[in-house]
């Protein structure tokens, strides 16, 4: 298991995101058997990532969400960019994969394609007014991923990301989520 801790400050309070990554050696444990026609055995050897938010505020002060952008393809220098959403949210126009009060993050990707480089930047974010507007302010973020250049897949290390990663993500988010405003990292990002 690999893990990192991401301290952050929001609304005058200190918080902590704890991120853990394990190798998927039991796809059934992680729910692959409930994904319909998705072949569960395909996920073996790929990463499973979970993040939890520790933050002392309650109610609307703790309203946050997780945004994840995936950069993937055979050429890591020219990847396809994807705002990663659950399939049922694909046309919802939201940037958030997960949203709630101190929300958890979970992802367990896999592919049958060889020679794929898959890198994800996941950001905990909120709105300055909690949930009244479609304004997104980054709180903290991390990078993770894998490559299918050999079997089992090569897992990337977990690492904290900062303003540069958010700026890259922001450009894609502005294009793909036109009904939302994405604040610049230097306005809010507590790295």
Q: Which two tokens stand for residue 35?
A: 């994904």
Domain range annotation of the chain: 2-188
Q: How many Å apart are CA 21 and CA 115, to the nearest integer? A: 22
Asked whether the predicted pLDDT for residue 188 surpasses 60, the reply is: no
pTM of the model: 0.95
| Average pLDDT value over all residues in the chain | 94
- Which among 87, 88, 71, 67 is positioned nearest to 79, based on CA atoms? 71
Residues 23-80: pLDDT tens digits?
Answer: 999 999 999 999 888 888 899 999 999 999 999 999 999 999 999 999 999 999 999 9
């Amino acid at each position: 298991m690999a893990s990192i801790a991401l301290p952050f400050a929001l609304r005058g309070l200190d918080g902590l995101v704890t991120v853990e990554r394990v190798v998927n050696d039991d796809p059934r444990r992680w729910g692959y058997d409930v994904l319909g026609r998705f072949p569960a055995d395909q996920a073996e050897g790929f990463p499973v990532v979970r993040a939890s938010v520790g933050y002392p505020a309650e109610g609307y002060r703790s309203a946050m969400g997780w945004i994840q952008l995936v950069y993937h393809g055979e050429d890591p220098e020219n990847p396809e960019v994807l705002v990663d959403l659950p399939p049922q949210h694909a046309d919802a126009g939201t940037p958030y994969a997960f949203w709630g009060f101190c929300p958890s993050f979970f992802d367990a990707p896999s592919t049958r394609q060889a020679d794929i480089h898959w890198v994800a930047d996941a950001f905990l974010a909120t709105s300055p007014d909690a949930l009244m507007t479609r304004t997104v302010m980054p709180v903290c973020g991390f990078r993770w991923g894998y490559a299918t250049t050999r079997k089992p897949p090569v897992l990337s290390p977990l690492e904290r990301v900062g303003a540069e990663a958010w700026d890259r993500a922001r450009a894609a988010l502005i294009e793909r989520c036109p009904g939302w405003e994405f604040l610049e990292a230097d306005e809010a990002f507590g790295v």
